[in-house]
Amino acid sequence: MMFVMAAVMEGPLADLSAWQPDECSIAKAMDMIGTRSVVLILREAYYGTTRFDGFAARVGITDAAAAGQLRKLTEAGLLAKRPYQEAGKRTRHEYVLTDMGRDLLPAVLALMQWGDAYLQSGPAPLLLVEESTGAPVRVQVRSDTGNEIELEKLGVRLNPEYARNRRARVES
């Protein structure tokens, strides 16, 4: 087993006991999408499922569970309801990804990529490719300069804008 170093915590974050991650974005994201069924509903939305019955059947959950999770994702802004009507039937709603839901794609694909590498007993069941070229697609951590960043080279620092906003809230 190989052990690696951690991210480089900078400035006031260097002393982990001196600060509390009380507004942690990871915790907030997990509060929103932290269940298996929510992530699998998102997977299905990325694959093109839009109808209630499709989500329930493909995720393997009850209609009640599907209704609750779809409502949660809609209220949170990851999915939007759009009316449709088949000939001779009542109006129903389908669920489509919003920009917020689409922006979560790299995180879901990173889970897939990790599962392919560490949890499959053989080859990955699906391949991610660029549709027009067939070139493999991978989720990676990169800086704005394009450099791939390994964990040991990742710096974590307090966002000055966040610190200013927090100070202003405390002072008011």
What proportion of the chain, given as a percentage, has pLDDT over 70? 98
Residue type, 72: K
For residue 98, pLDDT over 80 is answered with: yes
3.90.226.10, 3.40.50.720, 1.10.10.10, 3.90.320.10: CATH of 22-117+129-163: 1.10.10.10
The pTM of the full predicted model, rounded to 2 decimals, is 0.87
For residue 59, pLDDT over 70 is answered with: yes
Mean pLDDT over all residues of the chain? Answer: 93
> Of all helices (H) and strands (E), which one includes residue 169?
helix 160-171
> Of all helices (H) and strands (E), which one includes residue 99?
helix 99-102
Point out which residues pair with 8 in neighbouring strands. 155
Q: Domain ranges in the chain?
A: 22-117+129-163
Task: Determine the pLDDT at residue 17.
Answer: 86
Cα 33 to chain centroid distance, Å, stands at: 7
Task: Determine the pLDDT at residue 171.
Answer: 84
Task: Report pLDDT digits (tens) over 70-87.
Answer: 999 999 999 999 999 989
Task: Report pLDDT digits (tens) over 118-170.
Answer: 999 999 999 999 999 999 999 999 999 999 999 999 999 999 998 888 888 88
Return the higher-pLDDT residue of 58 and 2.
58
For residue 3, pLDDT over 70 is answered with: no
Instruction: Look up residue 103 and give its two tokens.
Output: 């922006």
Task: Determine the pLDDT at residue 4.
Answer: 59
